[in-house]
Structure formats: structure tokens, C-alpha cells
Chains A and B, each alone.
Chain A
């Protein structure tokens, strides 16, 4: 199929800690530890943007959406193509967000709303099919090459930590943006009327409607929110991870791990689990490189032994 550089796919560029070369000469000194900590947080927070949509859509509408990782990929490609056209990543993202919201609404309206009453098997079949469709479309529209996206000039520098260690400002910016979004999401879900309706919709659909709330519209909005957040994660990750075919698959799998650890349907569980996974993965790669592949799954197994339902109950 369309997987160039398949050999390197095992370690997504997103996951490669910065300044890795220096690690054999310096064991865990403070600055190095600090860099890994920031990397782990940044990776975890980015995962959260993808995972929160997955968990919301599952928790409220009961849909297992295997195609959720594709939205991450679509976001990255949109960012890349709009950035190449406009020469400005920030502008590309601003233009891209409404596009992804529309995409989410359209998909919900055309396809996903017919899955709500269906068995999980149908959901898995259709959303797996969608992954193939999205990859094929991506191949037709954008081709199969790997593309780099330039870091915006404003955020291009690095912050020196010691003589030979520094931390890129752009990665720091990613973490800050993700934290702001997580805060916004908290406000939306916990403090607004729309958030109350969203939470209510996860427990008693009929009653929500009986109170005069248009649940179909509510579902469309939640779905579009999930799509836009995943795509946004892909957009801001593009300069760090580069843009390549099938980039959603890996994110999807790790996001399912996040959702299971956090507790299915729990947004705050997903936040905690994302950060845990980000740190485990990053430190696992540094401290126990030979076990790096299993560290996150080990974490999942341990959490599930301790709390079979995951860390949190639904929203």
C-alpha cells in the first residue's frame, strides 16, 4: 500500500525526544530529566486532544469510532496544504478549523447518526471502512509522500537549558495550547448549559428530548467537536511529527489505550491517562529502550488490574 518509510514508522517522529544524541554522554541529570518531562507532557497533552473526542463520542453516543485517528491525519494534511498555499501555519490552522468542524457535522449527518442504534459490530465495520476510504482519498488528493511543515518563525527558537541542552519553543507552545484547550473544554462541559445537556445526554436520551432539547443537533455538535479537536491536534503536531500517510493509525491505537485507562466516557480520565501515557512512553524509551514498545500497555494492564473500569467514571 502507501506506507513509505514503513521501517521508521515504529517510532513516530512525534515521539522522538529532543536531543536524544546527548543521552549516552549524560545520564539523567536534572536538565535532561526536565526535557524528558516536558516531552512526555507535550506528547500526552496532544494525545488528549485526540482521545477526548473518542471518549466523548463513545460515552455519549455509544459509538466506537475507529476512524477517529484519520481525523488527526486529515488535520495534519490540511495544515500542510494550507500552509504551503498561504505560507503561514497559523493562518492555515485558522482556516482549517472551520473546515474540520464542517467535515465532522457532515459525517455525523450522513453516516454516523445511522450507527447509534446499531450493534458495535456494525460500528467497527463502518468506521474501519472509513479509515480505508480516508487513506485512499488522502492518496488521491495529497499523494503518498512525506512532508515537513515549517515551524512558524515566531516560535522557531529554542530555550537554552544548559551548555548543550535546549528546548524548542514550539513544543512548549504545543503544551500550552493543549492546556488552554483542556481548560476551555472543562469550562464548556462543567459550566455551560450546553455542557449540562451534553452530560445529561450521556445518561438519559429520552428525558433530554422530553425537556425540549434537540438531541440530534446536540449529537452533531459533539461529534463535530471531537473531529475538530483531533484534526487540530494533527495540525499543531505537523511541524514536529511531519505529515505522512497512515499517521492516524498509531495515534488511534494509543488513544484507545488512553480511553480505556481513563475510564470509557470520562473526559478528565482521558486527560489524566493521556499525560500518564505520555510520560510512561517518553521515559520508557529513555530508561528502558528495549521495552519501550510495551511500557504503555504494561501501564494499561496495571491500571486495569487495580481499577477494571478505568480511573474515572463517565463525565
Chain B
């Protein structure tokens, strides 16, 4: 396996008194693409938020490039090269498209600047046409492109996409999948959460399936047979 980039061990996370994650292990290597699957409410988003410092796991350990970041602030983790495209997109509606992109642009961990403002606009020509629009005025697909573009402008080594194609028209979703494929091809490690299991399995080297806060499957994508999908994901 590739050299580990992000490694979470035995994560237990609570929201108040509800015990959501029950000892989850999750790892992703440099340049690897991992699909994270599970039906609604199984804890995928909670796992991501636990690894990125947005919720504190009560037990367990998160390491990023070998550094223990379990107690680190979310911005510290982000600055170690992790970009996050959250569920519901998280654009800033009161900033223009241009400002959304520029506010967080920076070089990567080793000083790389592969993703520039220019390159993002070339990748997402629709954004280039709407630079002065408020973020809140964009369509769902454009907002998604904006969040992904903004994430890329931080020149990450790991991109986490939580339901990036949710609620998008099929044609737009196809566009997003193509771009995710390009990103993955450029050597950025990706964690992909999506309800379109076929597309995820297609892109991912490895798949992780969660049920009720535990991992029930973690193996190469081609080992994820129709039977297992049927059993755990109910498709």
C-alpha cells in the first residue's frame, strides 16, 4: 500500500449522549482514492468531521503524515494539506464567486502551487462567467464547482468530498464526476462519499462501507461484489 497520509484508529465519537462512531479505523495513502459508503445516518459525515477536528472523538487517534492531530484545531489540519468539500457545499453566499475562490487560496504543504486561480477558472469555465455574482445566486451545480475549485486553490494533498453530486441534475453530476476523475488523476488523494455507488467504485482504489458507526467492509473496489452491496447498502 502507498505511504499512509491520513490514519484514524479506533475512533469513538459522540453527539451529546448518542454514541455515533464505535471504534472506526480509517486510513488513506498518498495519492489513493477511497470510497466511503453507507446508507443514510451510518456515520460517514461524522467520521470525516472527527478526522478533521470539527468534532472531538472521545477515544481514538488521528494521524496526518505521521503527526498526531487528534487534538489539533481544524485550521491546523487543513494547513497540513487537507481540503474539505462538505455536505451542503458550504459556499459563502455573501461573498462573490471571485472572493469565495481567493479568500483561502494558498500554496500547498511543500510550497506547490499547481492549482492557481487561472487554472481553476479553466477547469470550471462556468465560474469564470459568474465571477461577480454572489455565491448565493449560483445554481446547485455551480455552487458545487465553486466549493471544489475553492478547495483545490488550497493546493491540498487530500481532498474529501462529502456528497458532491447530491441533488444535481444527471448531466451536471456527470460533469462533476469527470472533474473528480481528473483531480484523482493529478495525484491528489481523494475520499469520496456519494450515493452513486457505481461511480464511486469506478473511481476508487478501495472502498470502505459503514453500518451504524462501524466499518463492515474495507478492501479493494473490485472485491465489493453485488452481493455485499446488496447486503450492506441495500441496493
Q: List residues of chain A with CB under 8 Å of any chain B CB.
A: 193, 196-197, 199-200, 202-204, 206-207, 209-216, 314-315
Contacts and interface: CB of A to CB of B under 8 A. Distances in A.
Given A212-B104, A212-B106, A207 B75 contact: no
| Size bin of chain B's contact surface | 20 to 34
Contacts of B83: 210-211
Nearest to A198: B103
22 contacts: A196-B102, A199-B92, A199-B95, A202-B94, A203-B94, A204-B90, A206-B74, A207-B86, A209-B74, A209-B78, A210-B75, A210-B83, A210-B86, A211-B103, A211-B104, A211-B150, A212-B78, A212-B154, A213-B104, A214-B73, A215-B75, A315-B94
Most B CB within 10 A of own CB, among A203, A210, A216? A210
A210 to B, nearest CB: 4
A104 B83 CA distance: 32
A206 B54 contact: yes
Interface of B is mostly: loop
A1 to B, nearest CB: 43
Interface string B88-106: 0010111100010011101
B75 A203 contact: no
Given A199-B94, A200-B92, A207-B90, A212 B79 contact: yes
A214 B86 contact: no
Contact of A196 (B54, B79, B93, B95): B95
A193 B102 CA distance: 8
A210 B92 CA distance: 13
Contacts of B93: 203
Interface string B137-156: 00000000000001000100
Nearest to A202: B94
A199 B99 CA distance: 10
A215 B93 CA distance: 18
B84 interface: yes
Contacts of A209: 53-54, 73-75, 78
A193 B90 contact: no
A204 B92 contact: yes
Interface string B51-89: 011100000000000000000011100110001101000
B73 A196 contact: no
Contacts of A210: 52, 54, 74-75, 78, 83-84, 86, 90
B171 to A, nearest CB: 27
A273 B2 CA distance: 60
Nearest to B106: A212
B75 A213 contact: yes
A207 B53 CA distance: 12
Contacts of B73: 209, 214, 216
A266 B94 CA distance: 12
Contact of A212 (B54, B75, B94, B95): B75
